[in-house]
Every structure is written in C-alpha cells, then in structure tokens.
Structure 1
Amino acid sequence: MELKATRYEVDGHVATVWLHRPERYNAWTGRMHTEYRWILADLEKNPAVRVVVLTGTPPAFCVGGDTEALASHAERGNYDTGLTADTATPGFGVRPEFDHDFSFQFGMRFPIIAAINGACAGIGLALALFCDLRFASATARMTTAAPKLGLPAEYGMSWTLPRLVGVTRAADLLLSGRVFTAAETAEWGLWNSVEADADATLPAALAYAQMLATTAGPNAVRTTKAQIYADLLRHDVGASITESKQLMNEAMATAEYREGVSALRSKRPPDFR
C-alpha cells in the first residue's frame, strides 16, 4: 500500500509507527485509519517484530478527526468511517469483543506503546487508550473533545477511561471535554511515564520497547497480553488461575523457558533470539 498519512520503520525487534499529516497536526481521516490497520497487519506478519511504538510526526500526536471530515458528517447527518470492505483486520478473530476499532489492538500478539508527543484529542485519545502502555509529554494538551462538538463519548472511551482512571475522573473528562495535560494527570493511572517534553517522549518509549523486546521472552509477553485482556472481560478469578496454570505447564516445555532458567542460574541476561 502507498502510505500517504502514516509511515513506519522496523529496527531489530521494535517497530515505530507515525501518524503522518504534520501539516494538519496528524488529524484523523479514513485514509489514515486504513493505512494504520494495514501497517499493523503487515507488522503482525513479521516474526521479528516484538513491540510497536505509536507516535505522531511533530508537532502533534493526533488532534482528532479532520475538521473537513467532521463538516462532511454534519452535512450528511451521519457518521462515515471511511473504511472499505477490504480494509485490513489486524488482531481480529481472537475474541468477538476485539473485532472492533480500536479494541483490535487487544488481540494483537505484540504490545503497542503510545508515545504522546503533543496535542491529542478525540479519536486520537481513543486510539492511545487502546494501547497497552502510554508515555506522554508533560506539556501535551489533551481532550476527549466529543461533548464540545455535541457528541457522546466516541470509540469506546466510556469503556476504557473508567477502567484506567476510575468512574469519577473518567466522568470529569468525558462529560466536560475540558483540556488536560499529562502533567496534571500524572498520578491518575493513565501513563506509564510522563516525560519532560515532546522531544523526550519518543526516546523514552523506544528505550522501554527495546528493554521489553530483549529482556522478556516474546512468547511470555504475547501470552501475558492475551491473559490481561481476557481476564479484563472474564471476571472469574478461578478461571484465570486455572488457565494460568495450564499456560505455565505449556510454557515450561519451550526453549524460551529453558533459556530463561539457564540465564537465571548463570546470573546473565537471557538471550531470547
């Protein structure tokens, strides 16, 4: 696919994906959505990729839906995602609950880390909330945006935000649409790390991604990610324990486990090739 609104690169086990419409502050369009899903599907087929970092080409992460697209929705009186029947479906087929935008990220085999380097609003924030981990610039200005447009909470933010920050804080952001910063919400549970500024955010996320890709077993990471989101929906602690014991039994027959134990006993870093 010819990429016009996104770009990506792979460095070893870590892939970086940029939302790439800097002249429009990376405003979201159907084209960007289509390309983003195509990129993730392509990365999912690459066995070398163990972690993905998602960011925006400076100066923003993603300011939400493109204003021209929003105006078009208003003229038609309905919402059009801009997607077609042949749009890629990365992460689909794991659970029915994940066959949606952007919960499909929960079904992907690798962690996705959001590096929020600048303004983040509306669908851009929804996308980040469905990432597994989030690094943010302290100065990045963010908003759920929807109520200021006369819209309800979009793309599952009424599901993700309460689970991340609690109902009271989620209600604040979802009902008001007020602007907030990563610095202001540093202790809310939204962020794995809040960096000093935009320039520090992507390097910090990439450093974490590199650590995760090289010091944790890829099969263990993939399985644990699946457990996290299955248990988030299952609400059955006994079933979680039973499944975890079965998964541990299966893992102990792998070369990855044998390497982990060998490294521990030899007091050296593991080599998960």
Structure 2
Amino acid sequence: MTDAIVLQRDRGLLILQFNRPDKKNALTRAMYHQLAAALEQADADNTVNAVLIQGSSECFTAGNDIGDFLQQPPTDLDSPPFLFMKSLLNCRKPVIAGVAGAAVGIGTTLLLHCDLVYVSRDARLRMPFVNLGLCPEFGSSLILPRLLGHAKAAELLLLGEGFSGEQAAQWGIATQALDSGEAALAKAREVAERFETLAPGAVQISKQLMKSVDREQLRQVIEEEGALFTQRLRSPEAIAALSGFIARR
C-alpha cells in the first residue's frame, strides 16, 4: 500500500508530501498523526534545518476526509487533527509550503502557520466550514480578519467563497504565486534548501520573535475554535451537511 504521507530527508531538509491522489490528498486521522509526529521529531532534531509541506503539482489537499471524520470524529483537543495543529504551531524550524491545485479547509488554514508559501496562480483555495455546518479552525477566525479586514474575511469564512493562488499572494496568505504547479513546488523546494546555508540558531530565534506577538491569544483562539468545532461535528446541521456531501460524492 502506498504511504499516504511520504517522508523524505534531503540533508537538512525534511519533506512531508500528501500522497492520496485517488482521494485528492484528503487527510485522515492516521495522516494527521503521522504529520504531527514528523513535525515534533523535526523540531527536536538539530540536523533538520527546515520542513517542506507539499502535495502534488495537481493537488495540495482537499482537506479532511469526510468519511473518516464521520466514522471517527475528533472528540477533544488531543485528537490527531489538533495534535497536528499544535505541532505546526510550535515548530521552531522554518516551514515552507508548496501549493498547487485544490487547498480546501485545513489545506488553506495550515498555510496561515507556515513561514513561506508558494502557490500556483490557478490554485483553488477555500474554507467551506459553514457550508458543512462547521466553524473556522486553526486560528483562522483571528488571523484572517487581522490580515484581510472583517469584510473580506467574512466573505471567506461566512460564505465559504473560494479564491485563487494569485489572490492568496496579493492578500498576504501566500509569499508568491507562480505560473504552474510544477513551478510552485520547485520554488518552494529551492527556498527550503536555502536554509542549509543559513545559521539555524539565528533563523529559529528570528522566527520566534516574529511569532511571539499575540502567540498566547492565538493559542487560546485555536483551542476555543477546536472545542466548538468538535461540538459542531455532532450538531444536526453538520451531520446533515456532511452526510449529504458523502451521498453526492
């Protein structure tokens, strides 16, 4: 069986690649657990200088695997999806993302916690939480209004409107938009490899300083969102919306 998360080590670079092409790289509990463990190990390993998260040149991730979510919904903040969020939030090493194709739900919100994000111009990003009877997660209800203003954030979080990779770069969600998926992944790899030549201690301290402002508030918001998200998963609205999604698929 093909690994749903492919881990590759190239000198000081750890690459985490989503690898469920038949499911549009949708994330399962097992995948979240593997991602969390890999990030924690990278954070503790002095020989890892940077982490690169990517999908394929056709698809980043369609977000949560809805069937897996319905069968084994997260019940508390120690569930695999929230352990992944915690490990990414706490990672002291620079995290770079290469994004092409669909980036849905947590496929978009995780980018808010990466240090450098390279997307294809035609990437399709969307956070359809309300559309599924759910609520925002991973600090997006705090970060996006601050980054975009309330009105634009409301469009993305209350209406679930999608946007392109080019828009993501214009709005500061991504670092740069490239002409193709291959170019976005190549640029992300190129930038990630630059950390081989940079002083790791200086990089980590600089990241710490950049992230320290409002860090505790962000942590609290993520926990509040997570508690409400797990409640919403058991709500009639979410059960109906998620079951309808499965039926249509």
TM-score (norm 2): 0.77
**RMSD, aligned CA:** 2.7
**Per the alignment, in what secondary structure is the counterpart of residue 51 of structure 2?**
strand
Instruction: Give 1:250's aligned residue.
Output: none
Q: Is 1:28–1:64's contact at 8 Å kept on the other side of the alignment? A: yes
Which residue among 115, 118, 123 is the counterpart of 1:140? 123
C-alpha contact (below 8 Å) 1:21/1:27 kept by paired residues: yes
Identity of aligned residues (%): 30
SS of structure 1 residue aligned to 2:32: helix
Q: Is 1:198 equivalent to 2:196 in the alignment?
A: no
How much does 1:7 deviate?
1.0
Q: Which residue of 1 aligns with 2:48?
A: 49
- Work out which structure has the larger RCO, using CA pairs closer than 8 Å and 6 or more positions apart in sequence: 2
Asked if residue 106 in structure 1 is aligned to residue 50 in structure 2, the reply is: no
Report deviation, 1:197.
1.1
Q: When the two structures are aligned, how many residues end up with a matched partner?
A: 217
Are positions 1:80 and 2:74 aligned together? Answer: yes
Distance 1:124 1:234, change over 3 A: closer
What are the Cα deviations for residues 244-273 of structure 1, in whole angstroms up to 9, with x where unaligned?
Answer: xxxxxxxxxxxxxxxxxxxxxxxxxxxxxx
Which residue number in structure 2 is paired with residue 96 of structure 1? none
Q: What is the deviation of 1:220? A: 0.6
Contact 2:40 2:91 in 1 (8 A): no
Larger radius of gyration: 1
Equivalent-residue separation in structure 1 for 2:68 and 2:9 (angstroms): 31
- Say yes or no: does 1:150 pair with 2:150: no
Q: Secondary structure at the match of 2:60?
A: strand
Q: What amino acid sits opposite 1:154 in the alignment? A: E
Give the CA deviation at 1:190.
1.1
2: CA distance, partners of 1:234 / 1:179: 29
CA drift at 1:138? 0.7
Q: Who is 2:16 aligned against?
A: 17
For the 8 Å contact 1:34–1:83, the answer to whether it is kept is no
Within the alignment, does 1:229 sit opposite 2:228 as a pair? no
CA contact (8 A) 1:28 1:123 kept: no
Instruction: Give runs of aligned pairs for residues 1-273 of structure 1, distance below 5 A.
Output: 4-72=3-71, 79-80=73-74, 101-214=84-197, 216-233=198-215
- Structure 2 CA distance for partners of 1:30 and 1:234, relative to 1, 3 Å: closer
Q: 1:141 Cα deviation (Å)?
A: 0.7
Is the contact between residue 33 and residue 83 of structure 1 (CA under 8 Å) also seen in structure 2?
no
More helix as a share of residues: 2
Distance 1:22 1:28, change over 3 A: same
Counterparts of 1:189 and 1:17, CA distance in 2:
23
- For structure 2, the 5+ residue unaligned runs are 218-249
Name which of structure 1's ranges 37-46 and 111-120 shifts more when overlaid on structure 2: 37-46
The answer to whether the 8 A contact 2:88-2:113 is kept is yes
* More displaced stretch, 17-26 vs 42-51: 42-51
